[in-house]
Protein backbone atom coordinates (compact mmCIF):
# COMPACT_ATOMS: atom_id res chain seq x y z
CA UNK A 1 0.00 0.00 0.00
CA UNK A 2 2.89 2.36 0.76
CA UNK A 3 4.49 1.39 -2.56
CA UNK A 4 1.27 2.55 -4.25
CA UNK A 5 1.74 5.95 -2.62
CA UNK A 6 -0.52 5.71 0.43
CA UNK A 7 0.40 6.79 3.94
CA UNK A 8 0.50 3.51 5.86
CA UNK A 9 0.71 2.47 9.49
CA UNK A 10 1.22 -1.22 10.28
CA UNK A 11 0.00 -2.58 13.63
CA UNK A 12 0.80 -5.85 15.37
CA UNK A 13 0.55 -6.90 19.02
CA UNK A 14 3.94 -8.62 18.70
CA UNK A 15 6.32 -5.92 19.92
CA UNK A 16 9.47 -7.71 18.77
CA UNK A 17 8.05 -7.92 15.24
CA UNK A 18 7.17 -4.22 15.23
CA UNK A 19 10.65 -3.30 16.48
CA UNK A 20 12.29 -5.25 13.66
CA UNK A 21 9.99 -3.73 11.05
CA UNK A 22 10.79 -0.23 12.36
CA UNK A 23 14.47 -1.05 11.80
CA UNK A 24 13.68 -2.14 8.25
CA UNK A 25 14.13 -5.85 8.99
CA UNK A 26 11.66 -8.43 7.72
CA UNK A 27 10.49 -10.94 10.34
CA UNK A 28 9.86 -13.49 7.53
CA UNK A 29 11.66 -14.55 4.37
CA UNK A 30 9.78 -13.11 1.40
CA UNK A 31 11.65 -12.32 -1.83
CA UNK A 32 11.62 -8.62 -2.73
CA UNK A 33 9.67 -7.49 0.33
CA UNK A 34 12.70 -6.23 2.25
CA UNK A 35 13.53 -3.66 -0.43
CA UNK A 36 9.90 -2.49 -0.56
CA UNK A 37 9.87 -2.16 3.25
CA UNK A 38 13.08 -0.13 3.40
CA UNK A 39 12.22 2.06 0.41
CA UNK A 40 8.90 3.08 1.96
CA UNK A 41 10.31 3.55 5.47
CA UNK A 42 12.92 5.88 3.96
CA UNK A 43 10.24 7.73 2.00
CA UNK A 44 8.35 8.32 5.25
CA UNK A 45 5.17 6.71 3.92
CA UNK A 46 5.35 3.70 6.24
CA UNK A 47 5.47 3.47 10.03
CA UNK A 48 4.67 0.84 12.64
CA UNK A 49 2.91 0.76 15.99
CA UNK A 50 1.48 -1.53 18.65
CA UNK A 51 -1.11 1.07 19.71
CA UNK A 52 -4.70 0.66 18.57
CA UNK A 53 -5.45 4.18 19.69
CA UNK A 54 -2.76 5.53 17.37
CA UNK A 55 -3.91 3.33 14.48
CA UNK A 56 -7.54 4.36 14.91
CA UNK A 57 -6.63 8.06 14.88
CA UNK A 58 -4.43 7.54 11.80
CA UNK A 59 -6.48 5.42 9.39
CA UNK A 60 -9.36 6.10 7.01
CA UNK A 61 -9.23 2.46 5.90
CA UNK A 62 -8.18 -0.35 8.28
CA UNK A 63 -7.13 -3.67 6.75
CA UNK A 64 -7.40 -6.62 9.11
CA UNK A 65 -5.23 -9.61 8.25
CA UNK A 66 -4.65 -11.55 11.48
CA UNK A 67 -4.39 -15.34 11.50
CA UNK A 68 -7.34 -17.75 11.40
CA UNK A 69 -5.59 -21.04 12.28
CA UNK A 70 -7.16 -24.45 12.72
CA UNK A 71 -8.57 -24.95 16.24
CA UNK A 72 -6.68 -27.54 18.29
CA UNK A 73 -8.25 -30.97 17.89
CA UNK A 74 -10.96 -29.67 15.53
CA UNK A 75 -11.31 -28.93 11.84
CA UNK A 76 -12.90 -25.52 12.39
CA UNK A 77 -11.06 -22.20 12.08
CA UNK A 78 -10.23 -20.17 15.17
CA UNK A 79 -11.53 -16.66 14.42
CA UNK A 80 -10.87 -15.29 17.92
CA UNK A 81 -7.97 -13.12 16.66
CA UNK A 82 -10.42 -11.24 14.44
CA UNK A 83 -12.78 -10.71 17.35
CA UNK A 84 -9.84 -9.43 19.39
CA UNK A 85 -8.98 -6.91 16.66
CA UNK A 86 -12.55 -5.61 16.47
CA UNK A 87 -12.72 -5.38 20.27
CA UNK A 88 -9.39 -3.46 20.41
CA UNK A 89 -9.98 -1.16 17.44
CA UNK A 90 -13.70 -0.35 17.56
CA UNK A 91 -13.76 1.56 20.89
CA UNK A 92 -11.31 4.09 19.37
CA UNK A 93 -13.26 4.64 16.13
CA UNK A 94 -14.94 8.00 16.64
CA UNK A 95 -15.18 9.12 13.02
CA UNK A 96 -16.21 7.76 9.63
CA UNK A 97 -13.94 4.94 8.38
CA UNK A 98 -13.89 1.59 6.61
CA UNK A 99 -12.65 -1.63 8.22
CA UNK A 100 -11.68 -4.24 5.63
CA UNK A 101 -11.28 -7.93 6.47
CA UNK A 102 -8.64 -9.82 4.47
CA UNK A 103 -8.24 -12.95 6.60
CA UNK A 104 -9.67 -16.24 5.32
CA UNK A 105 -12.82 -16.91 7.34
CA UNK A 106 -15.79 -19.26 7.63
CA UNK A 107 -18.73 -17.82 5.69
CA UNK A 108 -20.91 -15.74 8.03
CA UNK A 109 -18.00 -14.23 9.97
CA UNK A 110 -18.09 -10.86 8.17
CA UNK A 111 -21.74 -10.15 9.01
CA UNK A 112 -21.15 -11.07 12.65
CA UNK A 113 -18.08 -8.80 12.86
CA UNK A 114 -19.90 -5.98 11.04
CA UNK A 115 -22.63 -6.02 13.69
CA UNK A 116 -20.08 -6.09 16.49
CA UNK A 117 -18.11 -3.22 14.98
CA UNK A 118 -21.10 -0.89 14.78
CA UNK A 119 -22.13 -1.89 18.31
CA UNK A 120 -18.71 -1.12 19.82
CA UNK A 121 -17.62 1.95 17.80
CA UNK A 122 -18.44 5.41 19.21
CA UNK A 123 -19.06 6.53 15.59
CA UNK A 124 -21.67 3.75 15.22
CA UNK A 125 -22.94 3.21 11.68
CA UNK A 126 -20.36 5.66 10.28
CA UNK A 127 -17.96 2.77 10.72
CA UNK A 128 -18.48 0.14 8.04
CA UNK A 129 -17.05 -3.30 7.31
CA UNK A 130 -16.05 -4.76 3.94
CA UNK A 131 -14.59 -8.19 3.10
CA UNK A 132 -11.73 -8.32 0.61
CA UNK A 133 -10.15 -11.79 0.55
CA UNK A 134 -6.41 -12.21 -0.11
CA UNK A 135 -5.16 -14.53 -2.86
CA UNK A 136 -1.37 -14.00 -2.74
CA UNK A 137 1.10 -16.89 -2.64
CA UNK A 138 4.00 -16.99 -0.21
CA UNK A 139 7.26 -16.54 -2.08
CA UNK A 140 5.47 -14.30 -4.62
CA UNK A 141 3.77 -11.92 -2.18
CA UNK A 142 5.09 -8.69 -3.68
CA UNK A 143 4.30 -9.67 -7.25
CA UNK A 144 0.86 -11.02 -6.39
CA UNK A 145 0.00 -7.90 -4.39
CA UNK A 146 1.02 -5.48 -7.13
CA UNK A 147 -0.37 -7.64 -9.96
CA UNK A 148 -3.40 -9.52 -8.62
CA UNK A 149 -5.45 -11.76 -10.96
CA UNK A 150 -8.62 -10.25 -9.55
CA UNK A 151 -9.94 -8.26 -6.61
CA UNK A 152 -13.06 -9.37 -4.76
CA UNK A 153 -14.97 -6.73 -2.81
CA UNK A 154 -17.62 -7.99 -0.41
CA UNK A 155 -19.48 -4.82 0.53
CA UNK A 156 -22.70 -3.71 2.19
CA UNK A 157 -22.92 -0.26 0.56
CA UNK A 158 -21.95 1.69 -2.54
CA UNK A 159 -19.86 3.96 -0.32
CA UNK A 160 -17.66 1.05 0.77
CA UNK A 161 -17.28 -0.06 -2.85
CA UNK A 162 -16.26 3.46 -3.88
CA UNK A 163 -13.60 3.70 -1.16
CA UNK A 164 -12.09 0.33 -2.06
CA UNK A 165 -12.10 1.08 -5.80
CA UNK A 166 -10.15 4.24 -4.97
CA UNK A 167 -7.69 2.25 -2.83
CA UNK A 168 -7.00 -0.24 -5.64
CA UNK A 169 -7.09 2.30 -8.46
CA UNK A 170 -3.26 2.59 -8.66
CA UNK A 171 -3.07 -1.12 -9.58
CA UNK A 172 -4.57 -0.30 -12.97
CA UNK A 173 -6.72 -2.62 -14.98
CA UNK A 174 -7.52 -5.50 -12.62
CA UNK A 175 -10.86 -7.34 -12.78
CA UNK A 176 -12.95 -6.31 -9.76
CA UNK A 177 -15.87 -8.47 -8.65
CA UNK A 178 -18.29 -6.77 -6.27
CA UNK A 179 -20.32 -9.10 -4.06
CA UNK A 180 -22.14 -9.39 -0.75
CA UNK A 181 -20.24 -10.59 2.34
CA UNK A 182 -20.98 -14.33 2.13
CA UNK A 183 -20.04 -14.58 -1.54
CA UNK A 184 -16.72 -12.82 -0.94
CA UNK A 185 -15.93 -15.12 1.99
CA UNK A 186 -16.86 -18.18 -0.07
CA UNK A 187 -14.80 -17.17 -3.13
CA UNK A 188 -11.70 -17.52 -0.97
CA UNK A 189 -12.68 -20.87 0.54
CA UNK A 190 -13.65 -22.15 -2.92
CA UNK A 191 -10.39 -20.99 -4.53
CA UNK A 192 -8.23 -22.81 -1.97
CA UNK A 193 -10.50 -25.88 -2.09
CA UNK A 194 -10.08 -25.98 -5.88
CA UNK A 195 -6.29 -25.62 -5.70
CA UNK A 196 -6.04 -28.36 -3.05
CA UNK A 197 -8.29 -30.59 -5.14
CA UNK A 198 -6.14 -30.09 -8.23
CA UNK A 199 -3.02 -31.15 -6.33
CA UNK A 200 -4.74 -34.16 -4.78
CA UNK A 201 -6.17 -35.12 -8.16
CA UNK A 202 -2.72 -35.42 -9.69
CA UNK A 203 -1.44 -37.16 -6.56
CA UNK A 204 -4.30 -39.68 -6.82
CA UNK A 205 -3.17 -40.28 -10.41
CA UNK A 206 0.35 -40.76 -9.01
CA UNK A 207 -0.97 -43.53 -6.75
CA UNK A 208 -2.52 -45.26 -9.75
CA UNK A 209 0.66 -44.74 -11.77
CA UNK A 210 2.65 -46.42 -8.99
CA UNK A 211 0.31 -49.43 -9.12
CA UNK A 212 0.36 -49.56 -12.93
CA UNK A 213 4.09 -48.79 -13.43
CA UNK A 214 3.18 -45.62 -15.34
CA UNK A 215 4.73 -42.15 -15.18
CA UNK A 216 2.67 -39.35 -13.58
CA UNK A 217 5.07 -36.69 -14.82
CA UNK A 218 4.43 -37.59 -18.46
CA UNK A 219 0.74 -38.02 -17.66
CA UNK A 220 0.49 -34.49 -16.22
CA UNK A 221 2.43 -33.03 -19.14
CA UNK A 222 0.00 -34.69 -21.54
CA UNK A 223 -3.00 -33.42 -19.54
CA UNK A 224 -1.63 -29.89 -19.40
CA UNK A 225 -2.01 -29.29 -23.15
CA UNK A 226 -5.78 -29.41 -22.69
CA UNK A 227 -6.44 -25.74 -21.95
CA UNK A 228 -9.49 -26.67 -19.89
CA UNK A 229 -7.16 -28.51 -17.50
CA UNK A 230 -3.94 -26.48 -17.72
CA UNK A 231 -0.56 -27.42 -16.33
CA UNK A 232 -0.29 -25.14 -13.30
CA UNK A 233 -0.74 -26.76 -9.89
CA UNK A 234 -0.47 -30.19 -11.47
CA UNK A 235 2.89 -31.19 -9.98
CA UNK A 236 2.62 -34.59 -8.35
CA UNK A 237 4.79 -35.19 -5.32
CA UNK A 238 4.71 -34.87 -1.58
CA UNK A 239 1.52 -32.82 -1.67
CA UNK A 240 0.41 -29.55 -0.14
CA UNK A 241 1.25 -28.07 3.25
CA UNK A 242 1.60 -24.60 4.69
CA UNK A 243 -0.46 -22.33 6.87
CA UNK A 244 -3.38 -22.16 4.45
CA UNK A 245 -4.49 -24.95 2.07
CA UNK A 246 -4.68 -27.74 4.72
CA UNK A 247 -6.44 -25.68 7.39
CA UNK A 248 -8.67 -23.92 4.87
CA UNK A 249 -10.18 -27.09 3.38
CA UNK A 250 -10.79 -28.42 6.90
CA UNK A 251 -12.41 -25.16 8.04
CA UNK A 252 -14.55 -25.15 4.89
CA UNK A 253 -15.83 -28.68 5.62
CA UNK A 254 -16.54 -27.74 9.24
CA UNK A 255 -18.49 -24.63 8.25
CA UNK A 256 -20.48 -26.48 5.58
CA UNK A 257 -21.40 -28.98 8.31
CA UNK A 258 -22.64 -26.19 10.58
CA UNK A 259 -24.77 -24.90 7.71
CA UNK A 260 -26.26 -28.35 7.04
CA UNK A 261 -24.42 -28.58 3.70
CA UNK A 262 -21.75 -31.08 4.78
CA UNK A 263 -22.58 -33.55 1.97
CA UNK A 264 -21.53 -30.95 -0.60
CA UNK A 265 -17.93 -31.05 0.62
CA UNK A 266 -17.33 -34.68 1.60
CA UNK A 267 -14.94 -34.90 -1.38
CA UNK A 268 -12.61 -32.54 0.47
CA UNK A 269 -12.09 -35.25 3.09
CA UNK A 270 -10.69 -37.41 0.26
CA UNK A 271 -8.57 -34.49 -0.94
CA UNK A 272 -7.10 -34.22 2.57
CA UNK A 273 -6.56 -37.98 2.89
CA UNK A 274 -4.91 -38.36 -0.54
CA UNK A 275 -2.62 -35.51 0.47
CA UNK A 276 -1.63 -37.07 3.80
CA UNK A 277 -1.12 -40.51 2.18
CA UNK A 278 1.67 -39.01 0.03
CA UNK A 279 3.68 -38.28 3.17
CA UNK A 280 3.23 -41.87 4.36
CA UNK A 281 4.21 -43.17 0.91
CA UNK A 282 7.36 -41.04 1.01
CA UNK A 283 8.37 -42.58 4.35
CA UNK A 284 7.68 -46.09 2.95
CA UNK A 285 9.83 -45.44 -0.14
CA UNK A 286 12.67 -44.11 1.99
CA UNK A 287 12.45 -47.16 4.28
CA UNK A 288 12.48 -49.47 1.26
CA UNK A 289 15.69 -47.82 0.02
CA UNK A 290 17.12 -48.06 3.53
CA UNK A 291 16.74 -51.83 3.31
CA UNK A 292 13.48 -52.27 5.22
CA UNK A 293 14.29 -50.40 8.44
CA UNK A 294 15.63 -47.03 9.48
CA UNK A 295 17.64 -48.45 12.38
CA UNK A 296 21.31 -47.70 11.81
CA UNK A 297 20.37 -45.63 8.77
CA UNK A 298 21.49 -42.05 8.10
CA UNK A 299 18.99 -39.97 6.12
CA UNK A 300 19.84 -36.61 4.54
CA UNK A 301 16.76 -34.41 4.11
CA UNK A 302 16.90 -31.53 1.64
CA UNK A 303 14.18 -29.00 2.51
CA UNK A 304 12.26 -27.93 5.60
CA UNK A 305 10.00 -25.13 4.32
CA UNK A 306 6.53 -26.15 3.05
CA UNK A 307 7.54 -24.76 -0.35
CA UNK A 308 10.60 -23.07 -1.90
CA UNK A 309 11.24 -19.32 -1.47
CA UNK A 310 9.66 -19.29 1.97
CA UNK A 311 10.82 -19.90 5.55
CA UNK A 312 7.32 -20.99 6.54
CA UNK A 313 7.29 -24.43 8.15
CA UNK A 314 3.61 -24.53 9.14
CA UNK A 315 2.34 -28.02 8.32
CA UNK A 316 5.45 -28.63 6.22
CA UNK A 317 5.30 -32.02 4.44
CA UNK A 318 9.12 -32.09 4.44
CA UNK A 319 9.42 -31.74 8.21
CA UNK A 320 6.53 -34.13 8.78
CA UNK A 321 8.44 -36.80 6.84
CA UNK A 322 11.75 -35.96 8.59
CA UNK A 323 10.14 -36.20 12.05
CA UNK A 324 8.39 -39.50 11.22
CA UNK A 325 11.63 -41.09 9.99
CA UNK A 326 13.42 -39.86 13.12
CA UNK A 327 10.70 -41.39 15.25
CA UNK A 328 11.13 -44.68 13.38
CA UNK A 329 14.81 -44.85 14.29
CA UNK A 330 16.52 -43.02 11.40
CA UNK A 331 19.39 -40.56 12.02
CA UNK A 332 18.02 -37.54 10.17
CA UNK A 333 19.94 -34.41 9.17
CA UNK A 334 17.94 -31.62 7.58
CA UNK A 335 19.10 -28.67 5.50
CA UNK A 336 17.08 -25.75 4.12
CA UNK A 337 18.44 -22.47 2.69
CA UNK A 338 16.22 -20.23 4.88
CA UNK A 339 13.88 -22.26 7.12
CA UNK A 340 16.48 -23.81 9.46
CA UNK A 341 15.92 -21.44 12.40
CA UNK A 342 12.18 -22.06 12.35
CA UNK A 343 12.69 -25.81 11.92
CA UNK A 344 15.19 -25.98 14.79
CA UNK A 345 12.80 -24.19 17.15
CA UNK A 346 9.90 -26.49 16.25
CA UNK A 347 11.89 -29.77 16.12
CA UNK A 348 15.00 -29.51 18.28
CA UNK A 349 15.32 -33.33 18.30
CA UNK A 350 16.43 -33.38 14.63
CA UNK A 351 19.99 -32.64 13.43
CA UNK A 352 20.59 -29.78 11.04
CA UNK A 353 23.29 -29.35 8.41
CA UNK A 354 24.99 -26.18 7.24
CA UNK A 355 24.54 -26.99 3.54
CA UNK A 356 22.98 -29.62 1.28
CA UNK A 357 26.29 -31.46 1.15
CA UNK A 358 26.64 -31.29 4.93
CA UNK A 359 23.15 -32.76 5.44
CA UNK A 360 23.89 -35.54 2.93
CA UNK A 361 27.32 -36.45 4.35
CA UNK A 362 27.44 -40.18 5.12
CA UNK A 363 23.77 -40.63 4.20
CA UNK A 364 22.44 -44.03 3.18
CA UNK A 365 19.43 -42.29 1.61
CA UNK A 366 18.92 -38.69 0.49
CA UNK A 367 15.40 -37.22 0.31
CA UNK A 368 14.59 -34.12 -1.74
CA UNK A 369 11.45 -32.79 -0.05
CA UNK A 370 11.31 -29.06 -0.93
CA UNK A 371 12.26 -28.10 -4.49
CA UNK A 372 14.63 -25.18 -3.82
CA UNK A 373 16.46 -24.20 -7.00
CA UNK A 374 19.85 -24.90 -5.35
CA UNK A 375 18.77 -28.53 -4.79
CA UNK A 376 17.57 -28.88 -8.40
CA UNK A 377 20.99 -27.63 -9.51
CA UNK A 378 22.96 -30.09 -7.34
CA UNK A 379 25.62 -32.01 -9.26
CA UNK A 380 24.93 -35.75 -8.77
CA UNK A 381 28.68 -36.45 -8.87
CA UNK A 382 29.46 -33.91 -6.14
CA UNK A 383 26.60 -35.08 -3.93
CA UNK A 384 27.58 -38.66 -4.69
CA UNK A 385 31.08 -38.01 -3.37
CA UNK A 386 29.83 -37.28 0.19
CA UNK A 387 27.09 -39.91 0.71
CA UNK A 388 27.49 -43.50 1.89
CA UNK A 389 25.08 -44.86 -0.73
CA UNK A 390 23.94 -43.17 -3.92
CA UNK A 391 20.21 -43.50 -3.20
CA UNK A 392 17.77 -40.63 -3.58
CA UNK A 393 14.01 -40.16 -3.40
CA UNK A 394 12.82 -37.10 -5.29
CA UNK A 395 9.69 -36.08 -3.37
CA UNK A 396 8.89 -33.21 -5.73
CA UNK A 397 9.65 -34.72 -9.15
CA UNK A 398 12.16 -31.94 -9.56
CA UNK A 399 15.25 -33.81 -10.78
CA UNK A 400 16.03 -35.44 -14.11
CA UNK A 401 16.03 -39.21 -13.40
CA UNK A 402 18.25 -39.98 -16.40
CA UNK A 403 21.01 -37.64 -15.25
CA UNK A 404 20.97 -39.06 -11.72
CA UNK A 405 20.82 -42.69 -12.84
CA UNK A 406 23.67 -42.05 -15.29
CA UNK A 407 25.73 -40.87 -12.29
CA UNK A 408 25.14 -44.19 -10.58
CA UNK A 409 22.29 -43.14 -8.30
CA UNK A 410 19.39 -45.38 -7.36
CA UNK A 411 16.72 -42.75 -8.15
CA UNK A 412 13.13 -43.10 -6.98
CA UNK A 413 10.22 -40.66 -7.17
CA UNK A 414 6.55 -40.49 -6.30
CA UNK A 415 4.26 -41.66 -9.12
CA UNK A 416 7.08 -42.74 -11.47
CA UNK A 417 8.44 -46.16 -12.32
Q: Contact between 54 and ligand NAI (CB under 6 A)? A: no
Could you say whether residue 103 binds ligand NAI (CB under 6 A)?
yes
Q: SS3 breakdown of the chain: % helix, strand, coil, rounded to 5?
A: 45, 15, 40
Ligand-binding annotation for 236, yes or no, is: yes
Through-space distance between the first and last CA atoms of the chain, rounded to whole angstroms: 49
Kindly tell me the number of DSSP H helices and DSSP E strands found in the chain.
17, 13
Q: Does the protein bind ligand UGA through residue 303 (CB under 6 A)?
A: no
C-alpha angle with apex 300: 295 to 301, nearest 5 degrees? 115
Give the one residue of 2, 11, 302, 378 binding ligand NAI; rule: CB under 6 A: 11
Helices (H), 290-368: 317-327, 340-346, 356-360
In whole angstroms, what is the distance from residue 288 CA to residue 175 CA?
Answer: 50
- Judging by DSSP bridges, how do beta strands 176-179 and 298-302 pair with one another? unpaired
* CB of 85 or CB of 378, closer to ligand NAI: 85
Residue nearest to ligand UGA (CB): 244
User: Which of 164/202 has CB closer to ligand UGA?
Assistant: 202
Alpha carbon distances (Å) from 374 to 33, 269, 361, 398: 21, 35, 17, 11
To the question of whether residue 247 is assigned a binding role by annotation, the answer is: yes
CA–CA distances in Å: residue 347 to residues 180, 280, 301, 305, 360: 43, 19, 14, 13, 19
Distance CA 348, CA 355 (A): 18
6-14, 46-54, 231-239, 359-367 -> range binding ligand UGA (CB under 6 A): 231-239
Binding mask 235-274 for ligand UGA (x = CB under 6 A): x-x-xxxx-xx-----------------------------
The one segment of 95-103, 130-138, 262-270, 353-361 that binds ligand UGA by CB under 6 A: 130-138
Q: Does 104 bind ligand UGA (CB under 6 A)?
A: yes
- Whether residue 344 is annotated as binding a ligand: the answer is no
Q: Give the nearest distance from C-beta 135 to ligand UGA in angstroms.
A: 5
List residues binding ligand NAI (CB under 6 A). Answer: 11-14, 17, 65-68, 81, 84-85, 88, 103-104, 134, 136, 138, 243-244
List residues binding ligand UGA (CB under 6 A). Answer: 104, 134-138, 192, 195, 199, 233-235, 237, 239-242, 244-245, 306-307
* Binding-site residue positions for NAD(+): 12, 17, 68, 104, 138, 247, 314
Amino acid sequence: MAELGFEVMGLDIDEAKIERLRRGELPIHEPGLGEVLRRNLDAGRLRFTTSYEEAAAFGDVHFVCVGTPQKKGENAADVSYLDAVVESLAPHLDRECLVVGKSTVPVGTAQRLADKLVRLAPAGAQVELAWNPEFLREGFAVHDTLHPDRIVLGVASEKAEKVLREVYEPLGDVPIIVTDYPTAELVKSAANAFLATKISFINAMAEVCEAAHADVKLLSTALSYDERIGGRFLNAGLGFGGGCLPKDIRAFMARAGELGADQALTFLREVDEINMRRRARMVDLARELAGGSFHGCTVGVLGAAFKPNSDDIRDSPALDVAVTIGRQGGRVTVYDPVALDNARKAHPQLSYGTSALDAARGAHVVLLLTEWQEFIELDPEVLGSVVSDRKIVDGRNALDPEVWRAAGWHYRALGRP
